[in-house]
């Protein structure tokens, strides 16, 4: 587990990346397993105390009376070296006796919460019901796991990703709107996607510290996350995209797409129907307003010119994070790209 330290928010330490010295004030936008793996590599090559991570909360939902924040927890557990490396989510060595027991009562258990993982959700739910904000609760959970970097939810307000799919509805229509976890986990991302919206985003405010972290960062990293359901909700919170656009020359993204449709994850089932090409070029086109540089995989080197043609500088690297060493090397490449 990473050692706990008090973060100095006014520090201006420097770091050297591939021989280039730059200010070590980093802010990352994150969501999903790919982002968690990338961040684990990032804190191996920079001072973790100078890293702020703004995490998607559009996936958050209530299960069995408990408030669950999947992306916040995946990032927390991964940075604490406590995650399940096979799935990328949940805790290593987890058991599911509680879920198995709930099945006796006919309770829906399609969203599997591990026995030890339940403690996190119990704590979060109790704190939120007592009046604490999600920002405050996230900081407490991160501290309990010994994290050094600063984790921030994108907002303390409720923003819910809703996915409209083609499926017979109870009203006789052929369209149904599902919560993100219903589509992704319960339905295994199988119903064809028609549209995606972020309910409540227009009324939401960035969580305390989010805009300040983006304004102060020397480098802003868009992690290799699903552009639609992981980065999309963050960008939908008023004010966040505006800062990124204004600071575009300091924003570097890492493409989550390698060699076309992914072998894992639902990116192709979301991007394609929404008119986003399932390629690093499609990611560049979606990000070009606020991202000056995109790190793409060596497999996609032939697409570098097409990315450049969109006004986004392509940097070719190994982006398949097979282990922590590769994740760390990818983090170095991303930082050097905007040095």
Q: Which pLDDT score, from 0 to 100, does residue 168 have?
A: 83
pLDDT tens across 300-331, in order?
Answer: 999 999 999 999 999 999 999 988 889 999 99
Of 12, 29, 20, which is closest to residue 231 (Cα–Cα)?
Answer: 29
Residues 6+ apart with CB under 8 A from 190: none
Q: Are 291 and 251 in contact, with CB atoms under 8 Å apart? A: yes
- β partners of residue 317: 297
Tokens of 301: 């080197």
Q: What is the CB neighbour count within 10 angstroms for residue 61?
A: 17
How high is the pLDDT of residue 324? 83
pLDDT value for 260: 76
Dist CA 324 CA 307 (whole Å): 27
Parallel, antiparallel or unpaired: strands 219-222 and 251-254:
parallel
- Give the residue carrying structure tokens 């920002």: 135
Under-50 pLDDT residues of the chain: 1-23
Centre a 10 Å sphere on the Cβ of residue 228 and count the other Cβ atoms it contains.
21
pLDDT of res. 23: 44
Residue 312 to residue 308: CA distance in whole angstroms: 5
Work out the angle between the directed axes of helices 32-45 and 324-337 (0-180°, nearest 10): 80
What's the pLDDT at 85?
87
Model pLDDT for residues 261-303, shown as the tens digit of each residue? 765 678 889 999 999 999 999 999 999 999 999 999 999 999 9
pLDDT of residue 6: 33
CA distance 183 to 195: 12
């Amino acid at each position: 587990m990473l050692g706990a330290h008090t973060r100095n928010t006014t520090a201006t330490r420097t770091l050297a990346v591939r021989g280039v010295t730059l200010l070590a004030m980093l802010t990352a936008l994150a969501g999903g397993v790919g982002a968690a793996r990338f961040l684990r590599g990032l804190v191996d090559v920079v001072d973790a105390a100078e890293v702020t991570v703004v995490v998607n909360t559009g996936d958050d939902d209530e299960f069995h009376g408990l408030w669950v924040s999947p992306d916040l927890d995946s990032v927390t557990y991964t940075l604490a070296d406590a995650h399940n490396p096979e799935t990328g989510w949940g805790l290593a060595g987890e058991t599911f006796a509680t879920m198995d027991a709930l099945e006796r009562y006919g309770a829906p258990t399609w969203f599997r919460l591990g026995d030890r993982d339940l403690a996190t959700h119990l704590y979060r739910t109790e704190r939120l019901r007592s009046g604490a904000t999600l920002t405050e609760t996230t900081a407490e959970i991160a501290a309990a796991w010994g994290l050094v970097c600063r984790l921030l939810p994108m907002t303390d307000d409720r923003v819910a990703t809703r996915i409209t799919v083609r499926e017979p509805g109870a009203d006789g229509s052929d369209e149904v709107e599902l919560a993100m976890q219903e589509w992704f986990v319960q339905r295994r991302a199988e119903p064809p996607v028609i549209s995606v919206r972020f309910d409540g985003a227009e009324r939401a405010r960035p969580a305390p510290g989010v805009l300040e972290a983006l304004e102060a960062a020397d480098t802003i990293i868009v992690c290799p996350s699903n552009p639609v359901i992981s980065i999309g909700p963050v960008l939908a919170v008023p004010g966040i995209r505006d800062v990124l656009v204004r600071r575009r020359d300091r924003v570097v993204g890492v493409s989550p797409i390698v060699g076309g449709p992914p072998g894992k994850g639902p990116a192709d089932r979301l991007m394609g129907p929404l008119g986003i090409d399932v390629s690093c070029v499609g990611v560049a086109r979606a990000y070009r307003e606020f991202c000056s540089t995109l790190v793409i995989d060596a497999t996609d080197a032939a697409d570098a010119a097409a990315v450049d043609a969109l006004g986004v500088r392509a940097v070719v690297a190994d982006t398949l994070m097979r282990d922590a060493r590769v994740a760390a090397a990818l983090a170095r490449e991303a930082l050097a790209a905007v040095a």
